[in-house]
A and B are shown apart, each in its own frame.
Chain A
């Protein structure tokens, strides 16, 4: 059951909502979708998950770029609605026919929508009957809720076919009301899939025993074989019949995606994208060889490959008159070129790819203006997207934060984290110097109790800058050292505590655990990730793993993640400024400082405009 379907302009005016559905949405899923997905250049993703008290929605959307319209469908996540994509496409088509920018009320669309929805539902049912697909849902949910909101069409009874262990069985029994609709439960650890949906009478919910067993052994729990009771023989037959279908299913891979934490859409999307990124690795060669052709094409007014055949005149004409509307094939060459260019600037491949998808989504269907080439249109769109990404979402005015903390008579605590050898201590000293210049009293805390020499190194800086340092030697728990340092700072009235931590690789479990503990115990005001501007694809891995580990290992329900980034060695990279983009995109945290040299004064703010220029150039 659809919760709501909205049509609104990119400017934000709602043009039409389905009054029939009429459900008041809980929280503000639409605003959240726009703010944290569509405006974050993630609109290339397939769906977005929204969680609020009492609501777990999935949102899907489509754009009509030429008319500047957005179509969003909201539904309960436990219902895996198969017809949503279909419906959205039809609604888009239907609505664009009657849309008039001057008109604000579209009550007559109600009827059209009702029909479209019925059509879409019917078509999906048809499809289901023929294909008998079973789709797993990718999150664990209690089955109790929302039983009644079914697919309307299949009310045939079936016993939920819970087969896996006691927990599952009891859950399955809750389904005995017969409206078992699309509730595929993946028990969080077990990853057991119970499928009780697409069942006409001939087709009782099916599942793949083999698959389940595999998954179960993975889960390492509950090894007892399938224990069906009651009328188990019949279902079993069907099960074997069904196996083949399951094997054909492309979505099967999703099964492995059980979310490590109960988490939000962003992470989901990241996981998905990481998957795509990998497969792109293989395709890389194709891309680079294509890029040569691409250069020629650009000279050729950047139009479609077969435009060459049409010759110079027609493509000239096209560029003067403006093309009817851009489609994927038109955009592809220009996007590929742009992606390659980003990658030569050291932007992680995965991110270049996602950005291009997002830009494509924003351009598809748009009219090309007169006297413009596709390549320049694409470039302009990309430029805007880059500015958006790099512009900090929140204020990066640390001094203001420091003053605010001072008013509350608390020291402002900054924890510097990062992998080995990126220049944490050096840049910590630079930040200290900068703070000193603005009449803020600073204290250092030597919490790198792991690498020998680390404390001495920091002590040298402290002496040179003439600021106090809190140290407890090595072999101490850094979390405790930090705590004592903060207490000391409160006593002696320091405004800021800069906490140096040991460099650690993102995969080092024990060290990551220690870091998580330090952050949880001391709840710093700022967790600053120090990263080298030299890194390429590794930037993504480092930052996402740091964040992931901090989230996983956190004991509180709202884990502290990385708040900001300090980019080091910025003076050594010429125009390869891609790391800044990769890091900001993957973490959502702004670049707060840029280290660009050996002396204490070599600390800068990121100049967004010049970075974007360099990236695009």
Chain B
């Protein structure tokens, strides 16, 4: 009860004040010569339009590169390697994406002004995968990081994740290029990119059959991969899918940088 009373009083006060301001404002406007007024309004309009246009223009040319891949594949290390040229004191499992807009560390020294890259590291924990959907629509390229050291036990999970990315609506429609990055190649026991490429193609081939299965519900993927009746190969994708090697820990990241530069132009 008391509250409403108080409220009413406040509103009353506000109203009175508003009216006063309005009157003052009108008087002020009347005092200014009309030409000045028109010029002022014109300038205001122009700037807003300009701002709007630059916004629109910018959005079309995305500079977002998404780092994806299973948990523990080395995305966060890679993120900091690309940004700072160092893996600092190491990492633990990410609970949130890492995001930053910067000029790649290796390019800072270069003379020509390069466009900064918006790099996003999306955690690999399956509970956090949903976050990927927020970033894919604006991505200029996707780096899918694979742990080449511990590859075989994770092959299926990694392939499933990659399958989800390759059939994602934005990726398919916008033909977003994907780079499969075999990480941790500093270790001698790491698998080669050819091997990983082959295994994942095989695995995705099997997934093609089993996915698209369960009836109705969750139509997450409308898109299918490859050509029916033919063994799946990444070359069948409409977007570019390439394979490369890297070692985030030792800073061996030139192939990723190249990929980023190809897709984020000036």
Identify which of A11, A395, A397 contacts B76 (C-beta below 8 A). A11
Query: Does B230 count as interface, using CB distance less than 8 angstroms?
Result: no
Q: Which of B181-189, B190-198, B202-210, B239-247 contacts A (4 or more CB under 8 A)?
A: B202-210
Identify which of A30, A39, A311, A388 contacts B10 (C-beta below 8 A). A311
Contact with A along B88-111 (1 / 0, CB 8 A): 111111111110000000000000
Known contacts A601-B215, A605-B217; is A393 also within 8 Å of B126 by CB? yes
Identify which of A389, A397, A601, A603 contacts B210 (C-beta below 8 A). A397
Q: Is the CB of A312 within 8 A of B7?
A: yes
CB-contacts of A569-601 with B (<8 A): 593-594, 601
Q: Is the CB of B94 within 8 A of A12?
A: yes
Nearest residue in A to B211 (C-beta to C-beta)? Answer: A397
Known contacts A39-B125, A434-B214; is A68 also within 8 Å of B96 by CB? yes
Interface of A is mostly: mixed
Distance to closest chain B CB from A602 (angstroms): 9
Distance to closest chain A CB from B139 (angstroms): 19
Q: How far is the CA of A104 from the CA of B80 in the complex (A)?
A: 10
Q: Is the CB of B160 within 8 A of A10?
A: no
Nearest residue in B to A407 (C-beta to C-beta)? Answer: B206
Size of A's binding interface in residues, CB under 8 A: 51
Contact with B along A16-60 (1 / 0, CB 8 A): 110000000000001100110011100000000000000000000
In the complex, the number of residue pairs spanning A and B with C-beta atoms less than 8 Å apart equals: 124
Q: Is the CB of A392 within 8 A of B126?
A: yes
Q: Is the CB of A8 within 8 A of B92?
A: yes
Q: Which residues of A contact B123 (CB under 8 A)?
A: 12
Query: Does B49 count as interface, using CB distance less than 8 angstroms?
Result: no
Q: Is the CB of B92 within 8 A of A438?
A: no
Q: How far is the CA of A387 from the CA of B97 in the complex (A)?
A: 16
Q: Is the CB of A35 within 8 A of B93?
A: yes
Q: Is the CB of A12 within 8 A of B93?
A: yes
Size of B's binding interface in residues, CB under 8 A: 43
Q: Is the CB of A11 within 8 A of B7?
A: no
Query: Does B147 count as interface, using CB distance less than 8 angstroms?
Result: no
Q: How far is the CA of A403 from the CA of B209 in the complex (A)?
A: 10
Nearest residue in A to B94 (C-beta to C-beta)? Answer: A12
Q: How far is the CA of A394 from the CA of B157 in the complex (A)?
A: 8
Q: Which residues of B contact A398 (CB under 8 A)?
A: 210
Q: Is the CB of A10 within 8 A of B129?
A: no
Q: Is the CB of B90 within 8 A of A394?
A: no
Nearest residue in A to B214 (C-beta to C-beta)? Answer: A605
Identify which of A38, A104, A402, A403 contacts B84 (C-beta below 8 A). A104
Contact with B along A553-565 (1 / 0, CB 8 A): 0000000000000
Known contacts A312-B7, A395-B156, A606-B217; is A12 also within 8 Å of B95 by CB? yes
Q: How far is the CA of A607 from the CA of B130 in the complex (A)?
A: 13
Q: How far is the CA of A186 from the CA of B69 in the complex (A)?
A: 44
Query: Does B153 count as interface, using CB distance less than 8 angstroms?
Result: no
Identify which of B3, B91, B215 contacts A12 (C-beta below 8 A). B91
CB-contacts of A380-395 with B (<8 A): 387-389, 391-395
Residue among A9, A400, A402 with max Cβ neighbours from chain B (10 Å): A400
Distance to closest chain B CB from A240 (angstroms): 49
Query: Does A70 count as interface, using CB distance less than 8 angstroms?
Result: yes
CB-contacts of B234-252 with A (<8 A): none
Q: How far is the CA of A8 from the CA of B95 in the complex (A)?
A: 11
Query: Does B216 count as interface, using CB distance less than 8 angstroms?
Result: yes
Q: Is the CB of B88 within 8 A of A13?
A: yes
CB-contacts of A440-471 with B (<8 A): none
Residue among B76, B91, B97, B121 with max Cβ neighbours from chain A (10 Å): B91
Q: Is the CB of A14 within 8 A of B90?
A: yes
Q: Is the CB of B91 within 8 A of A604?
A: no
Identify which of B3, B10, B160 contacts A313 (C-beta below 8 A). B10
Known contacts A393-B126, A438-B213, A607-B218; is A39 also within 8 Å of B206 by CB? no
Q: Which residues of B contact A39 (CB under 8 A)?
A: 93, 95, 125, 127-128
Q: Is the CB of B93 within 8 A of A34?
A: yes
Query: Does A399 count as interface, using CB distance less than 8 angstroms?
Result: yes
Query: Does B263 count as interface, using CB distance less than 8 angstroms?
Result: no
Known contacts A39-B125, A400-B206; is A11 also within 8 Å of B213 by CB? no
Having A403-B209, A594-B217, one finds 12 other A-B pairs with CB under 8 Å, namely A10-B96, A11-B76, A11-B95, A12-B91, A13-B88, A17-B89, A34-B92, A38-B95, A388-B128, A397-B210, A400-B210, A604-B214
| Sample of 30 A–B contacts (CB below 8 Å) | A8-B92, A10-B94, A10-B95, A11-B76, A11-B96, A11-B97, A11-B121, A12-B76, A12-B123, A13-B76, A13-B91, A14-B92, A30-B93, A34-B93, A35-B71, A35-B125, A39-B93, A39-B127, A104-B84, A311-B10, A312-B10, A388-B128, A391-B127, A392-B126, A394-B157, A400-B156, A434-B215, A604-B217, A605-B217, A606-B218
Of all A-B residue pairs in the complex, the 8 with the closest CB atoms, nearest first, are A12-B94, A399-B210, A11-B98, A604-B217, A605-B217, A10-B96, A400-B210, A388-B127
